[in-house]
A and B are shown apart, each in its own frame.
Chain A
């Protein structure tokens, strides 16, 4: 049975709408239009111990909200979830001792003091013995290569260095479940890679269960065998990221380069024209028509270059996002 179990989890927020301008501000004083945003709409999944799962989705898709419910920060509107055997939002101390949440955009370090002060506070918060603390600290600082930075005021650290300190602060009590919300946000490519390597190593060494949200594809491609793609509060895909495209296997991409200008209308009959500028075009074509249409096009148009490709992963994901969006609009 999974270490994390989620069933039909929903979360909606109430908010007020305000239109642009001063007049509407005044109007809002008197009567405000209450809106409901369904951030998470009934998602279910199960995660085994030691798994590293990526949550992928555009901004505002409900990734972070889901993590916040799993860590007990938010109460769900409806549905159930269990981490270990605890209901997260009951906020039991035993539960809190065993997991950790890292929020890339929120610091848990004391800004004006050196990082080791905050780390020592976390030692006390998690009631760690001295020995457990010193070994964990030595190991983590070694791995992340920040031993020399422990005595420097946090506000003087670079973003990448601070993120490493955040990770150490969150892992010092050796949590069994780790939620990472955008751990690489705002970092340069090298720092991103360092943190990824560290997470990979840590997951393998400690057999900890990790959920990672990100909108950097590279983070997830690199780290997670399993990816859960969330869009508009729904799970639209759950599985291996590299196999997202099997959903779109029925389609192929054809890239064309012409020696002479070819009008868009002339191409429209073959499939969906994704890009077109006269001299170049990109088409999406049904696999079954591929052979027949290729021949026709080669005969009919002044073709300089002709390429048949699979739909790239990014585009597969993008289409997933769009497909879902359409479905909801028609529901509403």
Chain B
């Protein structure tokens, strides 16, 4: 029996477990589409009342594509396990992972991907459908290379988001009621990642600050690749920065958890 089998098995269990909550997932897709629809109407109104064809560097079609795809991508990379981790810490469920020969980080990552696989499949399918529709509507060529870069940047975005939330969930070691922090954090990430609006809207100064933070590499950067807003050298350097953030965040996560584990009090029976 090989050691990695435990993680493969965790993945498969999480996969099966997710199937128990199919309706949940369906509802989350429906609710996610509301905000996209609202944005499309909003931008249509803005563009039709403005004398300019380009607003904040986006044409009308680019803006609509951005709004739709950012909704899809943010769904694709969303985390949502921080509550589970906090609960493990707060109620002492983490104890069993300490007592068993399994690594909590890898357990979480496998359980995360296991729970997300079906969802990701469906969302990716939706993405393809959207792209075909857009290609037909505005006669846009997405190109093979661009699509490959896009997918690669989504994988990095997913990792960045996972690591951010994994690190922040270590706060539960220090603060018992972390729900408020999580909600604030996830709303902050949601906005700063560019899932609501393209970040250019906030002006040059803010954009400069954002480029120093990891958040825009979760949604804003991937969507701009497929949107045709970035030149190829900007795409390559962006991917490198993403990889850099992944490495940096692995260290940060390890640090947060190492100090948290020492504080762990394993409450309850």
A residues in contact (CB < 8 Å) with B: 13, 64, 68, 71-75, 91, 93, 96-97, 99-101, 103-106, 108, 110, 112-113, 117-118, 120-130, 181-182, 185
- State the CA gap A103–B91 with chains docked (Å): 13
Q: How far is the CB of B137 from chain A (nearest CB, A)?
A: 42
B99→A75 contact, CB < 8 A: no
Q: How far is the CB of A157 from chain B (nearest CB, A)?
A: 16
B99→A127 contact, CB < 8 A: no
22 pairs from A and B in contact (CB 8 Å cutoff): A72-B98, A73-B95, A73-B264, A73-B266, A74-B264, A93-B101, A96-B100, A100-B99, A105-B268, A106-B96, A106-B269, A112-B17, A112-B20, A113-B16, A113-B20, A121-B10, A122-B100, A124-B9, A124-B10, A125-B6, A126-B100, A181-B269
A105→B98 contact, CB < 8 A: no
3 closest A-B pairs by beta carbon, nearest first, are: A105-B269, A124-B6, A124-B9
- State the CA gap A72–B97 with chains docked (Å): 11
Task: Choose among B3, B8, B93, B269 the residue with the greatest number of A CB atoms under 10 Å from its CB.
Answer: B269
- State the CA gap A99–B101 with chains docked (Å): 10
Interface members, chain B 133-182 (any A CB < 8 Å): none
Produce 1/0 per residue, B99-126, CB < 8 A to A. Answer: 1111000000000000000000000000
Which residues of chain A are within 8 angstroms of B10 by Cβ–Cβ distance? 121, 124
- State the CA gap A208–B12 with chains docked (Å): 33
Which residues of chain B are within 8 angstroms of A125 by Cβ–Cβ distance? 6, 9, 100-102
- State the CA gap A112–B17 with chains docked (Å): 7
Which residues of chain A are within 8 angstroms of B98 by Cβ–Cβ distance? 71-73, 91
- Known A121-B10, A129-B1; judge A64-B17 contact (CB<8 A): no
A101-B96, A106-B96, A106-B269 are known; give 13 further A-B pairs, CB within 8 A: A72-B98, A72-B99, A73-B98, A73-B266, A96-B99, A100-B99, A112-B20, A121-B13, A124-B6, A124-B8, A127-B1, A128-B1, A182-B269
- State the CA gap A128–B266 with chains docked (Å): 28
B260 at the A interface (CB under 8 A): no
- State the CA gap A130–B2 with chains docked (Å): 12
B96→A108 contact, CB < 8 A: yes
- State the CA gap A193–B1 with chains docked (Å): 36
B269→A64 contact, CB < 8 A: yes
- State the CA gap A233–B1 with chains docked (Å): 42
B101→A117 contact, CB < 8 A: no
- Known A106-B93, A112-B17, A117-B13; judge A97-B268 contact (CB<8 A): no
Q: How far is the CB of A242 from chain B (nearest CB, A)?
A: 28
Give the number of residue pairs across the A-B interface with Cβ within 8 Å: 84
B265 at the A interface (CB under 8 A): yes
Which residues of chain B are within 8 angstroms of A185 by Cβ–Cβ distance? 269
Which residues of chain A are within 8 angstroms of B264 by Cβ–Cβ distance? 73-74
Which residues of chain B are within 8 angstroms of A120 by Cβ–Cβ distance? 9
B5→A124 contact, CB < 8 A: yes
Tell which of B1, B100, B268 touches A106, judged by Cβ atoms closer than 8 Å: B268
B83 at the A interface (CB under 8 A): no
Which residues of chain A are within 8 angstroms of B13 by Cβ–Cβ distance? 110, 113, 117-118, 121
B269→A13 contact, CB < 8 A: no
- Known A64-B269, A91-B98; judge A124-B1 contact (CB<8 A): yes
- State the CA gap A73–B262 with chains docked (Å): 10
Q: How far is the CB of B175 from chain A (nearest CB, A)?
A: 12
B99→A71 contact, CB < 8 A: yes
Q: How far is the CB of A155 from chain B (nearest CB, A)?
A: 10
- State the CA gap A101–B95 with chains docked (Å): 9
- State the CA gap A127–B265 with chains docked (Å): 28
B238 at the A interface (CB under 8 A): no
- State the CA gap A64–B92 with chains docked (Å): 12
A97→B9 contact, CB < 8 A: no
B265→A106 contact, CB < 8 A: no
Task: Choose among B10, B99, B265, B269 the residue with the greatest number of A CB atoms under 10 Å from its CB.
Answer: B99
- Among residues of A, the one whose C-beta sits closest to the C-beta of B265 is A13
Which residues of chain B are within 8 angstroms of A181 by Cβ–Cβ distance? 269
Which residues of chain A are within 8 angstroms of B265 by Cβ–Cβ distance? 13, 74
Q: How far is the CB of B14 from chain A (nearest CB, A)?
A: 9
Which residues of chain B are within 8 angstroms of A74 by Cβ–Cβ distance? 264-266
Interface members, chain B 209-249 (any A CB < 8 Å): none
A127→B100 contact, CB < 8 A: no
- State the CA gap A96–B13 with chains docked (Å): 22
B9→A106 contact, CB < 8 A: no
Task: Choose among B2, B8, B102 the residue with the greatest number of A CB atoms under 10 Å from its CB.
Answer: B102
Which residues of chain A are within 8 angstroms of B269 by Cβ–Cβ distance? 64, 103-106, 181-182, 185
B5→A127 contact, CB < 8 A: yes
Interface members, chain B 24-83 (any A CB < 8 Å): none
Q: How far is the CB of A13 from chain B (nearest CB, A)?
A: 6
Which residues of chain A are within 8 angstroms of B6 by Cβ–Cβ distance? 121, 124-125, 127
- State the CA gap A125–B110 with chains docked (Å): 13
- State the CA gap A103–B94 with chains docked (Å): 12
Q: How far is the CB of B9 from chain A (nearest CB, A)?
A: 4
Q: How far is the CB of B257 from chain A (nearest CB, A)?
A: 13
- Among residues of A, the one whose C-beta sits closest to the C-beta of B94 is A73
Which residues of chain B are within 8 angstroms of A75 by Cβ–Cβ distance? 262
- Known A64-B269, A105-B268, A112-B20; judge A96-B262 contact (CB<8 A): no
